[in-house]
Amino acid sequence: MSEVEYKGIKLKGSKLLLILPLLGTLGGALWAGFEGYARWVAMEKKINEYVAPDLSNFTLRLEVLEERIVSLEDNVSTELRTVKELVGSAQDDARTIRIDLRKDINEVQDQVAASDRRSRNMDQEVRNSLRQTETDLRTMIDHASDRFDSKRTAIESDAQRRIELIDNKLSSLETKLREMLQRALDNPLAGQ
């Protein structure tokens, strides 16, 4: 058996009664930490799995353009318009790819930012929850301490009242016994 003292009150019993809420609080904090870490790992996995768009089509188109430019050297005057159209098309494709790529990168950045905000919000919620739990536990301990003090006072008061009642009865009994003994001693027939 061990003795624990809190705010001047000594409790005899197992320390397990104080350790269980502490373990519950620590378990909750660990769970929140592991949950946050798991989400962080999932976010990192998504970021690492990002695959850049396939630009091989663009490369193929550029190769086609180069071949056509070489063949156009023979027929510069007649094929110049075709080359300009192909170059314009390639520029449009490159512009489209660049815009799409920029859009994809912005979406990924937005997702990372949203995930970061959710992580910060969750962290704040966990902190607030821990503070509230700590406040609730302190309130419960204070309430239990007040109840314990009032019960102890009531028991002490009842015990004092009983002691006084027993003392009065003993005093009354002692007086009666003395009177009876005195009467027995004063009786003239008692000595014969």
pLDDT in tens, 86-132: 888 888 888 898 999 999 999 999 999 999 999 999 999 999 999 99
What is this structure's pTM? 0.33
Distance in angstroms (rounded) separating the CA atoms of residues 96 and 99: 5
Q: Dump pLDDT digits (tens) for 17-47.
A: 667 777 888 999 999 999 999 999 999 998 8
All structural domains of the chain with their residue ranges = 36-140
